[in-house]
Amino acid sequence: MKALTLTNLNALPELLEQEALRPDPGQAIVRLKAAALNRRDHWITRGLYPGVRPPVVLGSDGAGIVTACGEGVDPNWIGREIIIDPGMHWGDDPRAQGKEFVVLGSPHDGTFASEVAVHHSQLHNKPERLNWFEAAALPLAAVTAYRAVFTQGAIEPGDTVLITGVGGGVATFALQFALAVSDAVWVTSSSQEKIDRAITMGARGGVNYRDADWSNNLASDGAVPTLIVDSAGGPGYDSLIRLVAPGGRIVNYGATAGAPEKLDLCKVFWKQLRLQGTTMGSPEDFAAMLEFASRHGIKPVIDEVYPLARGAEAIERMKSSPQFGKLVLEMD
C-alpha cells in the first residue's frame, strides 16, 4: 500500500510503499477513499506535537470501506462505507480525556494511506448525504467544534456568539453549528474575504482582528457576545474578556497565538465569566455530532482536494492558512 509517511521531524512526509495491513484482534482494516488534513498534521511535521516518533503515517480523518475484520469484530462490518472517529482511549470521564487518550496519526499510523487499521469502536456508518470528500472532512474538526460549542459552551438559542479565526476547519464547523442554534453569530479573521464568506453562510458580521480597535468596532456594531469560541489566546485574549457580556463564556480549543500577555482577573470575577478549556471530543460527543449534523443538514466546507501523491504539498499549504474550510486527500 501507499502511505504518506513522516520519516524525520522538520521535514515534509514522503509517499512510501508499505506492506498491506492485517487486522489485530479487535481491529478492522479500512480501504480509504479520502482523508482530510488538520492543523495538527502540520504541527507534527514540525515536532510541535507531543509524542511524535517517526516513522509514522500522518492523518486523523478518513472515510472508506471496511475490507477485513480481526478476531472479536462483527464481520458484518465488511463492505460497509464508514467514517472514522479519530479519538482513541478517551477514558471513563466525559468531562476530560484520560492519560491514555491519543489521536489517530501520531503515535499510531493514520489515514494518509491506501488503508488504515483502527479499533472497531472507531467505526461509524458514513452519512449517506455526504460524498467521500465531505465524509472524510467531518471527524476531527467537527467533533472538536461540537464539543466547544455544545458540550463546553452550552450554546442556547438566545446567545450572541463570536467565532474567532473563521476559515480554519474547526472554526468553520463552529460557525455552522452555532448558526443552527442562534441567528446572532459574528466572526473574526485576518482576511476580509473569509469574513465575507462567513457572512454568505449566515454570520451577521465580522471584523479583522489585526485592526487595533477590532473589539470596539464589533461592540459598536451591536455584537456583545455571550459565548466566544476561540483558538488563539495570545495578546488578543484580553480583548475577549473586555468584549464578552457579563455572565458570558469563553471557550478555548487552542492557543495558536501563545499564552495571554495578561489576564485581568478583576474583570473575570466582576463580570462573572466562565473561562472553559476544551479539546477534541469523547465518543459520546462524536455520536452526538453526527446526529446533529445529519438533522440540520450540515456539510463540511471543502477548500480543495489533492491526490495523495501531492499530500506533502497540501501540508505545506497549511503554513499560511489561506484556505477556507478543509483540505482533503483523494486516495484513488
DSSP string, 73-99: S-GGGTT-EEEE--EE---S-TTS--T
Residue 7 lies in a domain: yes
Domain span at 207: 143-277
The residues with which 13 forms a beta bridge, in sequence order, are none
- Same domain (yes/no): 46, 28: yes
Task: Kindly state whether residue 9 falls inside one of the protein's structural domains.
Answer: yes
Cα separation of 290 and 284, whole Å?
Answer: 10
Q: Indicate the SS3 state at residue 162.
A: strand
Identify the sign of the CA torsion 104, 108, 112, 115: negative
**Which string of DSSP letters, residue by residue, matches 130-144?**
S-HHHHHHSHHHHHH
User: Do residue 321 and residue 233 come from a single domain?
Assistant: no
Number of structural domains in the chain: 2
Q: What is the dihedral of CA 3, 6, 7, 8, to 10 degrees?
A: 170
pTM value?
0.96
Residues 187 and 266 in one domain: yes
Residues 131 and 52 in one domain: yes
Find where cell 472524510 sits: 136
Q: Which residues contact 139 (CB under 8 A, 6 or more apart)?
A: 36, 60, 61, 62, 83, 84, 85, 86, 286
Q: Which of 267, 247, 286, 240 is nearest to 154 (CA)?
A: 247
Residue 283 maps to a domain: no
The Cα 307–Cα 332 span in angstroms is 8
38 within a domain of the structure (yes/no): yes
Residue 9 C-alpha from the chain's centroid: 23
Q: What DSSP assignment string belongs to 262-284?
A: ---HHHHHHTT-EEEE--S--HH
Q: Are residues 123 and 172 in the same domain?
A: no
- Cell triple for 48: 510541535
Q: Round to whole Å and give the CA distance between 89 and 83.
A: 18
**What is the chain's pLDDT, residue by residue, as a tens digit (332 residues)?**
999 999 999 999 999 999 999 999 999 999 999 999 999 999 999 888 888 889 999 999 999 999 999 999 999 999 999 999 999 999 999 999 999 999 999 999 999 999 999 999 999 999 999 999 999 999 999 999 999 999 999 999 999 999 999 999 999 999 999 999 999 999 999 999 999 999 999 999 999 999 988 998 898 888 899 999 999 999 999 999 999 999 999 999 999 889 998 899 999 999 999 999 999 999 999 999 999 999 999 999 999 999 999 999 999 998 777 889 999 999 97
CATH value at residue 9: 3.90.180.10
Measured CA to CA in angstroms, residue 106 lies from 16, 122, 253 at distances of 17, 16, 19
3-state SS, one letter per residue, for 31-60: EEEEEECCHHHHHHHCCCCCCCCCCEECCC
Distances (CA, A) of 229 to 69, 170, 303: 39, 10, 22
**In a shared domain, residues 119 and 199:** no
Is residue 285 one of the residues assigned to a domain? Answer: no
Asked whether residue 78 is domain-assigned, the answer is yes
pLDDT of residue 237: 94
Whether the Cβ atoms of residue 77 and residue 34 lie closer than 8 Å to each other: no
Same domain, 223 and 256: yes
- Do 242 and 219 lie in one domain? The reply is yes
What's the pLDDT at 222? 81
In a domain, 292, yes or no: no
Same domain (yes/no): 132, 37 = yes
Which residue has 460524498 as its cell numbers?
A: 131
Same domain, 250 and 219: yes
* pLDDT in the model for residue 322: 86
- pLDDT of the residue at 61: 98
Do 88 and 197 share a domain, yes or no? Answer: no
Residues 217 and 263 in one domain: yes
